Structures are given as C-alpha cells and as structure tokens.
C-alpha cells in the first residue's frame, strides 16, 4: 500500500496568515492527489483534485501543487472558516489511502 | 446540486451485521463510481472500497475482504454498504462519497455505527 504522510500534524495560525501543509507519498503517484477539509462533526469536503485543480465553489485562496511524491496545500490569507483538519489522499493505486491529517487551529 | 443522503445511526451487538444506504441525487447515478470511507472516533479517514457504475465490479481494502459487501440499485439511485461480524473496532462514522471528477468529490453526511454489547 502507498503510505501518505503529512506535516505538520497540527499548527496554530492567525486570520490572514499564509499556511502551507505538505503531503508525501511513499511512491510516485503522479498527480493523483486530492485534499479534503473536515470540520468537527461534519463530513469531509473535497477542496482539490489532480494535485492542483480546485473543486467548484472552493475559494481561490486554496491552492495545491506538486507531483510524484511531494505535494503542498496552501491557504493564502487564512479565514475564520478555514480552521479545520486537512487530509491528503492518493488515488493513483488501490487501496486509496489518506494522510493522517493536519489540524489547523487558532493561535 | 449533488446530494448524498445516508441512512440513520445504528446500534449493533458484536457479531451482528449492518447495512447502510446512500441515496444520490443531482447527477447521473449510474455513470459514476461510489466510494465508502469510515472514521473511528477521534481518528483519521479509512478507505473501505468502491463499486463501479454498473455495480458489477467492487474493489475492497484487504482489511475488509470477506466481510464487506458493496452494492447499488440504479432504479433508486442508492448505494449500499454491508459489514458483517461487527466488533467494537467497527464503531465509526461511515461515509459514502461519489467519484465524479477524481476520487471522493461529494460526500454523504455520514452514518454512525455503534457496536456495543
């Protein structure tokens, strides 16, 4: 199975900050990488697919980059509604696997 | 708009089975894959498997092989997840997620399954 790791596991940030989360795959997954946002008690929400394509309706302050084994999710100008846990997911190979998550909370 | 509405919470005893439904609307149900993902309390997301658009092909995570069954009914635009031989470790929120563009693009609201004697 492809192992996904994320760093940091948690971070504290202020409204307006630029935040970057990294995700690494244990082997080459090309651009088959998605990012999800999850708030407490809610279902995950897809933000980005194909490593850098924004899902419809997702604010442009979210961006994704990378390919192969190294990926990043950047939030440019953190908003109050962005405090949540973020997961990466590879869908290049079955089984689909998720990273352990990065919790973004208020400083 | 795409909507996935899941069945309600379940409480089961160890050894029992559970069957969860996921009713889709807002898109052509029979054209897209459906994933199932679960999340144990306080834990991350765990992929369980998926079913192809026709319902003829399923791919399950090895961990669940032999006790999971995913099906779908095109006439009602509903997907189903059945999990057998439940233990306390199966206590989790179970999500369906439709694969329209990439992987898990749209998610159901989740179904809490509690396994307790």
pLDDT-based confidence at residue B35 (cuts at 50, 70, 90): very high
User: Is it the case that residue B100 has pLDDT exceeding 90?
Assistant: no
Q: Burial level of A57, CB count in 10 A (0-12/13-18/19+)?
A: exposed
Q: Looking at residue A68, what is its pLDDT?
A: 98
Section A82-107 average pLDDT: 96
Nearest chain A CA: its distance from B111 CA (Å): 10
Q: How many CB atoms lie within 10 A of CB B75?
A: 7
Residues of B in contact with A95 (CB under 8 A): 47, 49, 59, 61-62
Model pLDDT for residues B39-88, shown as the tens digit of each residue: 999 999 999 999 999 999 999 999 999 999 999 999 999 999 999 999 99
Section A12-32 average pLDDT: 97
Q: How far is CA B99 from CA A79, B4, B51, B83, B85, in A?
A: 28, 12, 10, 21, 28
Section B9-24 average pLDDT: 98
Model pLDDT for residues A36-62, shown as the tens digit of each residue: 999 999 999 999 999 999 999 999 999
Section A4-10 average pLDDT: 98
Angle at CA of residue A32, ends A71 and B50, nearest 5°: 130
Contact by Cβ (8 Å): A21, A87: no
Contact by Cβ (8 Å): A36, A97: no
Nearest chain A CA: its distance from B6 CA (Å): 12
Q: Strand, coil or helix: what is B89?
A: helix
Closest partner residue to B47 among A49, A53, A97, by Cβ? A97
Q: Looking at residue B14, what is its pLDDT?
A: 98
Residue with the two structure tokens 């809490």: B112
User: Is it the case that residue B102 has pLDDT exceeding 90?
Assistant: no
Q: How many CB atoms lie within 10 A of CB A70?
A: 12
Q: How far is CA A103 from CA A10, A84, B54, in A?
A: 4, 6, 37
Q: What percent of chain A has pLDDT over 90?
A: 98
Give the residue from chain A lying closest to B65, CA to CA: A95
Nearest chain B CA: its distance from A43 CA (Å): 6
């Amino acid at each position: 199975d492809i192992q996904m790791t994320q760093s940091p596991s948690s971070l504290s940030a202020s409204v307006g900050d630029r935040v970057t989360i990294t995700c690494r795959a244990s082997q080459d997954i090309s651009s088959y990488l998605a990012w999800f946002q999850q708030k407490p008690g809610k279902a995950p929400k897809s933000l980005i697919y194909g490593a850098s394509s924004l899902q419809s309706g997702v604010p442009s302050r979210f961006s994704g980059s990378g390919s192969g084994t190294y990926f990043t999710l950047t939030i440019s100008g953190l908003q109050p509604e962005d405090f949540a846990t973020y997961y990466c997911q590879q869908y290049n190979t079955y089984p689909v696997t998720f990273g352990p998550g990065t919790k973004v909370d208020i400083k | 708009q795409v909507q996935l509405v899941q069945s309600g919470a379940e409480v089961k005893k160890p050894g029992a089975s559970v069957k969860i439904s996921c009713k889709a609307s807002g898109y052509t149900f029979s054209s897209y894959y459906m994933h199932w993902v679960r999340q144990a309390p306080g834990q991350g997301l765990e992929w369980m498997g998926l079913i192809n658009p026709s319902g003829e092909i399923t791919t399950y995570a090895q961990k669940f092989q032999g006790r999971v069954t995913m099906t779908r009914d095109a006439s009602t635009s509903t997907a189903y997840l059945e999990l057998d031989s439940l233990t306390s470790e199966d206590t989790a929120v179970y999500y369906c997620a439709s694969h329209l563009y990439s992987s898990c693009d749209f998610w159901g609201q989740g179904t809490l399954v509690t396994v307790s004697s």
